[in-house]
């Protein structure tokens, strides 16, 4: 049910699209076990690529704080490193690592682009939120919650692309929009804050340029990681502003523009957001591909981590039910490498 504070008379289709995205991010409960399994497979594929990226000197040198030495104890961790950074820079580093292709990367293929892009925002946001909850004496989010967030990013990307909305924003723009909505919700944002963050994500000047329009591979990866870090920045800024749930007339103008930038038109019916994209991805994969994916992940872990730590990580992923119940901060802690970047 839409928050009454966001109900607007004569609401345009463009405003309705942004509000629908915000409501989906904030309130929709993921019940599909198939969708969660798909997100888990995508997580495994993305992490395998991330560990491979850390073995690439040219890519690894970019993984670190924006200002040398500017670490954030208790902040978001970057998988496979000892880094603790602010969530925005952690998203850039994680996103840069996830741009690395790996065996099984077909699990990450969407019509709207690679699913791994949005994971660069979801992972550090989940770890930061979990560590913050621990320090405040609260229950941290579980891996299942992180997987549900991933399902939602895939759904937003896929539904917008399937609706033909990707004729203007290309793949990375859809990933940024999806990540902005979901990360704001992860951080506890209300509907008004999610709407504000989405407006920032859609209307910023970088909408005019993205990675798909650049030819050099290194710049493409850099641009994708930068776009994902901007999603986390928009979420944090919206949270810091403390926006209420109601929208002013000026807000509505901005939200209307944001919806139009996403392709909303009066003649287009609004799409329903659920778990259809993740469910469809599951039907398109063959059972043997899951075994190949697992083998590739185990090999990547063995190549990057010390033997005892590698065994612990493989054991965590060997039992999906136990993995889903694990606090996110414990999962990221298992992938910390002392002395690594």
- The full DSSP string for 262-276 is TT--TTSPPPPPSSH
**pLDDT tens track for 273-282:** 999 988 888 8
Report the C-alpha dihedral over residues 314, 318, 324, 327, rounded to 10 degrees. Answer: -30
Give the separation between CA 281 and CA 290, rounded to whole angstroms. 12
Structural domain includes residue 149: yes
**Total domains, the chain:** 1
How much is the average pLDDT of 119-129?
94
How far apart CA 188 and CA 223 sit, in angstroms, is 27
Do the domain assignments include residue 28?
Answer: yes
- Report the 10 Å Cβ neighbour count for 11: 16
**pLDDT value for 258:** 78
pLDDT of residue 309: 96
In a domain, 229, yes or no: yes
Print the domain residue range for 19.
4-334
CATH at residue 57: 1.10.4100.10
pLDDT in tens, 19-67: 899 999 999 999 999 999 999 988 998 899 899 888 888 888 889 998 8
Which residues lie closer than 8 Å to 17 by C-beta, 6 or more apart?
259, 262, 264, 270
Q: Is residue 340 part of a domain?
A: no
When comparing pLDDT for 109 and 153, which is higher? 153
Question: What count of other Cβ atoms lies within 10 Å of the Cβ of residue 235?
Answer: 32
Predicted pLDDT of residue 85: 96
CB 111 within 8 A of CB 162: yes
Q: Which of 22-31, 120-129, 281-290, 322-331 shows the lowest mean pLDDT across its residues?
A: 281-290
Does position 316 have pLDDT exceeding 90, yes or no? yes
Whether residue 330 has pLDDT greater than 80? yes
Distances (CA, A) of 79 to 93, 127, 200, 261, 304: 9, 10, 28, 34, 11
Q: How many CB atoms lie within 10 A of CB 136?
A: 8
Cα gap 78→201, rounded to integer Å:
23
The percent of residues above 90 in pLDDT, for the chain, comes to 45
β-bridge pairing 109-110 and 84-85: unpaired
Tally of CB atoms within 10 A around 10: 5
Question: In this predicted structure, what is the pLDDT of residue 100?
Answer: 59
Task: Check residue 205 and give its pLDDT.
Answer: 54
Does the pLDDT of residue 154 top 70, yes or no? yes
Check pLDDT > 90 for residue 301.
Answer: yes
251 in a structural domain: yes
In this predicted structure, what is the pLDDT of residue 105?
52
- Of 11-25, 79-93, 131-145, the one with minimum mean pLDDT is 11-25
Judge whether residue 215 has pLDDT over 50.
Answer: no
Mean pLDDT along residues 197-222: 62
Predicted confidence (pLDDT) at residue 108 exceeds the cutoff of 60? no
**Residue 341 belongs to some domain of the structure:** no
Lowest-confidence region among 36-45, 96-105, 170-179:
96-105
Residue 339 lies in a domain: no
Q: Write the CA distances from 120 to 6, 26, 49, 153, 289, integer angstroms.
A: 30, 20, 12, 11, 24
pLDDT band for 125, please (50, 70, 90 cuts). very high
Q: What is the H or E stretch that residue 237 is in? A: helix 217-241
pLDDT: which is higher, 338 or 217: 338
Is a pLDDT exceeding 60 seen at residue 140?
yes
Euclidean distance between CA atoms 90 and 171, whole angstroms: 21
Q: Does residue 243 sit in helix, strand or coil? A: coil
Q: Is residue 326 part of a domain?
A: yes
| Cα three-residue angle 330-334-335, rounded to 5 degrees | 125
């Amino acid at each position: 049910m839409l928050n009454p504070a966001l109900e607007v008379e004569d609401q345009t289709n463009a405003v309705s699209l942004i509000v629908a995205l915000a409501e989906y991010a904030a309130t929709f409960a993921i019940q599909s076990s198939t969708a969660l399994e798909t997100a888990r497979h995508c997580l495994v594929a993305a992490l395998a690529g991330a560990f491979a990226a850390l073995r690439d000197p040219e890519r690894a040198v970019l993984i670190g704080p924006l200002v040398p030495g500017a670490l954030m104890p208790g902040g978001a961790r970057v998988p496979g490193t000892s880094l603790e950074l602010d969530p925005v820079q952690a998203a850039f580093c994680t996103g840069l690592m996830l741009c690395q292709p790996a065996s099984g990367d077909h699990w990450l293929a969407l019509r709207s682009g690679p699913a791994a892009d949005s994971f660069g925002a979801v992972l550090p946001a989940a770890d930061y939120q979990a560590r913050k909850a621990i320090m405040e004496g609260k229950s941290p989010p579980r891996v299942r919650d992180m997987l549900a967030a991933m399902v939602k990013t895939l759904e937003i990307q896929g539904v917008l692309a399937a609706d033909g909305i990707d004729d203007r924003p290309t793949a990375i723009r859809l990933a940024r929009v999806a990540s902005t909505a979901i990360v704001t919700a992860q951080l506890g944002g209300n509907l008004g804050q999610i709407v504000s963050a989405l407006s920032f994500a859609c209307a910023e000047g970088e909408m005019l340029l993205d990675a798909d329009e650049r030819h050099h591979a290194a710049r493409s990866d850099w641009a994708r990681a930068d776009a994902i870090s901007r999603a986390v920045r928009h979420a944090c800024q919206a949270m810091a502003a403390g926006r209420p749930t109601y929208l002013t007339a000026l807000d509505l103008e901005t939200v209307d523009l944001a919806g139009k930038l996403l392709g909303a038109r009066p003649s287009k019916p609004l799409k329903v957001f659920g778990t259809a994209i993740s469910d469809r991805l599951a039907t398109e994969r063959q059972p043997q591909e899951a075994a190949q994916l697992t083998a590739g992940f185990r090999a990547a872990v063995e190549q990057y981590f010390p033997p005892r730590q590698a065994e612990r990580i493989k054991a965590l992923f060997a039992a999906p039910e136990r993995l889903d119940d694990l606090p996110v901060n414990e999962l990221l802690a298992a992938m910390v490498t002392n002395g690594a970047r």
